[in-house]
């Protein structure tokens, strides 16, 4: 059903997946609507118990621009009997492929659906994405707020952002700041560094790791020498050959090699593929080495900080109480009780005795 509704009869959806609206694009759309009117209707649904009778399902950007263009009414498409979940899905459908929807807004929308019981496969099928795409977007939600802001601003690309999101909060800042400062030759190098930090985090301890024994040290030194010798041959043998080849004019090569050129082209292609693979491996190794250095320095700093902390003073030993000599308790002698003398009876004399 299509209705012409007053602007005041419509309220935005508080669960709208888009939170960021480009101010410049908003001004341009508002000017266009003021000049030509709103050509695409705003999709709404009836609601009860709200400030207005209708809530936006899709088209909040158009509604905002119409409001600023001072339109009294806007054309709307009213959806009857639509649940909140259905309305939310429709809102995502309208916005998910728009260039001005940030990837973290997209990730947040998928997370809301996941909270409603949608798995990545179902979300992917609904919006025409791959399951991997959905999982990678969801993985961005662990980014620190400041790093997430850099991602929204386009300073950090989605692929690198995902690798950074796998790190602890302090390491997220380290990886992001080093990338923004230009410490890496490419985004891939920054991703390799982030992966190296992740590997370091998963180790129990870099400081307390047992030192290699003599046999292990010898093996490492031998492997190091062999690898360095092989890489040195790139400069000694391969580079001069390629440098010499590039100096020959194409027409001369055509004359010299003739029909065999096709075979050499295939050989060079194979070499190029191997060089690309070797370059990737070396860059990954470099990222891991840089990350280990950062992790090692952090761990060492932590140990030194703890060592510099004054030790808590030990409580003075309490002296053992001196044993008092046993005192012999003597009972006080009981006083002797003397028997009182019996009174003596005096015999009467004289008349008294005779009368008795």
From CA 269, how far away is CA 263, in angstroms rounded?
Answer: 10
Burial label, 43 (beta-carbon count in 10 A; 0-12, 13-18, 19+): buried
Residue located via tokens 């009174």: 343
Q: What CA–CA distances, in Å, run from 309 to 103, 168, 205, 274?
A: 45, 26, 21, 53
The rounded Cα 1 to chain-centroid distance in angstroms is 45
Residue 220, both tokens:
């490492």
Q: Which residues, including other chains, have CB under 8 Å from residue 102's CB and lie 6 or more apart?
A: 20, 151, 152
Is 131 designated active site? no
Q: Which residues, including other chains, have CB under 8 Å from residue 43's CB and lie 6 or more apart?
A: 56, 57, 58, 59, 76, 77, 79, 90, 94
Q: Which residues, including other chains, have CB under 8 Å from residue 110's CB and lie 6 or more apart?
A: 120, 123, 134, 137, 138
CB 41 within 8 A of CB 59: yes
CB 295 within 8 A of CB 202: no
CB 58 within 8 A of CB 43: yes
Residue located via tokens 């046999």: 215
CB 150 within 8 A of CB 179: no
The rounded Cα 355 to chain-centroid distance in angstroms is 134
The rounded Cα 170 to chain-centroid distance in angstroms is 9
Of these residues, 4, 51, 60, 146, which one is catalytic?
Answer: 60
User: Catalytic positions, please?
Assistant: 60
């Amino acid at each position: 059903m299509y209705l012409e509704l007053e602007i005041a009869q419509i309220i935005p959806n508080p669960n709208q997946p888009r939170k960021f609206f480009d101010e410049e694009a908003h001004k341009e759309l508002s000017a266009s609507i003021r000049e030509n009117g709103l050509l695409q209707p705003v999709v709404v649904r009836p609601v009860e118990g709200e400030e207005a009778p209708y809530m936006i399902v899709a088209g909040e950007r158009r509604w905002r621009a119409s409001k600023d263009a001072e339109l009294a009414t806007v054309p709307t498409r009213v959806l009857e009997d639509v649940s909140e979940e259905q309305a939310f899905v429709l809102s995502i459908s309208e916005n998910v492929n728009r260039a001005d929807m940030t990837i973290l807004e997209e990730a947040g929308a998928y997370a809301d659906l996941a909270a409603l019981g949608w798995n990545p496969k179902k979300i992917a099928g609904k919006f025409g994405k791959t399951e991997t795409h959905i999982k990678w977007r969801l993985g961005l939600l662990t980014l620190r707020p400041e790093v997430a802001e850099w991602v929204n601003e386009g300073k950090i690309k989605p692929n690198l952002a995902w690798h950074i999101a796998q790190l602890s909060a302090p390491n997220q800042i380290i990886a992001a700041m080093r990338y923004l400062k230009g410490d890496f030759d490419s985004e891939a190098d920054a991703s390799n560094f982030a992966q190296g930090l992740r590997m370091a985090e998963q180790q129990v301890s870099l400081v307390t790791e047992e030192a290699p024994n003599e046999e292990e040290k010898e093996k490492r030194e031998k492997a190091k020498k062999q690898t360095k010798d092989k890489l040195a041959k790139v400069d000694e043998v391969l580079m001069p050959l390629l440098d010499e080849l590039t100096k020959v004019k194409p027409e001369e090569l055509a004359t010299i090699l003739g029909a065999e050129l096709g075979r050499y082209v295939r050989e060079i292609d194979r070499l190029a593929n191997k060089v690309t693979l070797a370059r990737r491996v070396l860059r990954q190794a470099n990222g891991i080495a840089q990350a280990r250095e950062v992790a090692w320095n952090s761990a060492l700093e932590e140990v030194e900080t703890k060592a510099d902390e004054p030790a808590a003073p030990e409580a003075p030993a309490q002296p053992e109480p001196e044993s008092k000599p046993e005192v012999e308790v003597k009972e006080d002698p009981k006083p002797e009780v003397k028997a009182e003398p019996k009174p003596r009876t005096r015999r009467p004399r004289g008349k008294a005795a005779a009368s008795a």
